Structure 1
Amino acid sequence: MYAPRYHQEKDWDTIAEFIRRHSFALLISLENGLPVGTHLPVELEERSPGEYVLRGHIANSNPQSATFTSGQTFLVVFSDPHAYISSSWYEKDKIPTWNYIAVHVYGTLRIQSDEELITSLTALMNKYEAASEQPVSISDIGEKELHNNLKAITGFEITITRVDTRFKLSQNKNDKDYASVVQHLQQNPDSQSQEIAEEMLKRRS
């Protein structure tokens, strides 16, 4: 991913927080020389102290699952939020732009065992059911129904080998223009604009 140095985020805790907050990702691999992708939830997990992996699952009927045994490097794209930046918010500049955050994670993939898949699914359900009025756990699923669904999916774990980031947040603007961008984004009710403003305030108050 193209990213000027001043747009690159180097702090791992910041990157990890972003991945966990925007965990619905795009998984990309090559099939017969062509890129294929699937949108799916991917969870960042600390397998051992300081060693992180990505875990998820895919339908066996998805042709991309055939690439899981290819030994190739996979790309997982985490994106959002993003917001249009009007040049009317600047004192002099006339060129509008777009602020956004994106993280590209590269790694090697292995297929999970049945036990690992159940553990991952349990953690996934527990995480997203926590906010429900009547949370459902994996133990609430009938044995036959669970077994049939497990046969239809493949769990995977990606060992991270490289991380590229672009936190494009008006870092090249002077303080006055920077503050103006934040103010206008805060006035926009759109949640993504609000999140971009929040991220900008973390870097320059």
Structure 2
Amino acid sequence: MHVPKINQETNWQEIAGFIRHNSFGMLINVAAGTPLATHIPIELEERADGAAVLKGHIAKENPQWQAFGNGPGLAIFTAPHAYISSSWYEKGKIPTWNYIAVHIYGPMRILTDQEMLASLEQMMNRYEAASEHPVSLHDIPGKELHNNLKAIVGFELTVADVQARYKLSQNKNDHDYYSVIRHLKQRGDEGAVKIAEEMEKRREK
């Protein structure tokens, strides 16, 4: 990903928090010379030794898994984005788009059955926590669980290279910068509001 220095985010804790809050990502790798991509929930795990990995699973019918381990993988996480009208600038006439995107590159491997089971349990526990009646992996009948496990392949991607672009009007003067924030808030949709909030965090009045 092209990341101009002015838009570059290097704070790992900021990036890790973004991944966790926007964990429905895109997994990309290359099989037989063809790029393949799958949209799936991907969990970030930080280990005591300082290493970080991404874990998830895809359907065994998806041919993408057959290339796991044959080269690096790429996981992409994005969420808030918003159109920026040039009418919000004092003089500028070129509109643009503000957004946050994180690309994670690294080697991949296929999880063992036990590792995949642990990964699934961790994922379920995280997302079921907000349910009125949480369901755990242990609530799934054994045969049903076994049949579903046979139909998926778990993976682990070791975080080797992190590229994070926070394109948030950093190149604008204060007048235009705060004008963008004001207009985004007035627009009021979720993406616009989140981008405005991120911009407010990054420049003091």
Structure 2-normalised TM-score? 0.97
Instruction: State the partner residue of 2:105.
Output: 106
Offset at residue 116 of structure 1 (A) = 1.0
Instruction: State the partner residue of 1:94.
Output: 93
Instruction: State the partner residue of 1:162.
Output: 161
Offset at residue 47 of structure 1 (A) = 2.4
Instruction: State the partner residue of 2:45.
Output: 45
Task: Give the paired residue count.
Answer: 204
- The reply on whether 1:144 has 2:143 as its aligned counterpart is yes
Q: In structure 2, what is the Cα distance between the partners aligned to 1:78 and 1:49?
A: 24
For residues 74-128 of structure 1, the C-alpha deviation after alignment (integer angstroms, 9 at most, x for no partner) is 1111112110000011111011000000000000011111111111111111111
Q: In structure 2, what is the Cα distance between the partners aligned to 1:192 and 1:73?
A: 31
Amino acid at match of 1:39: H
Q: Give identity over the alignment, percent.
A: 59
1:91 partner SS: coil
Q: In structure 1, what is the Cα distance between the partners aligned to 2:22 and 2:95?
A: 26
Instruction: State the partner residue of 1:117.
Output: 116
1:57 partner SS: strand
1:181 partner SS: helix
- Return 5+ residue gaps in structure 1 as ranges: none
Within 5 A, what are the aligned runs for 1:72-87?
72-87=71-86
Runs (4+) of structure 1 exceeding 4 A deviation are none
Instruction: State the partner residue of 1:20.
Output: 20
- Return 5+ residue gaps in structure 2 as ranges: none
Offset at residue 189 of structure 1 (A) = 2.2
Amino acid at match of 2:54: L
Q: In structure 2, what is the Cα distance between the partners aligned to 1:189 and 1:30?
A: 39
Amino acid at match of 1:4: P
Offset at residue 43 of structure 1 (A) = 0.5
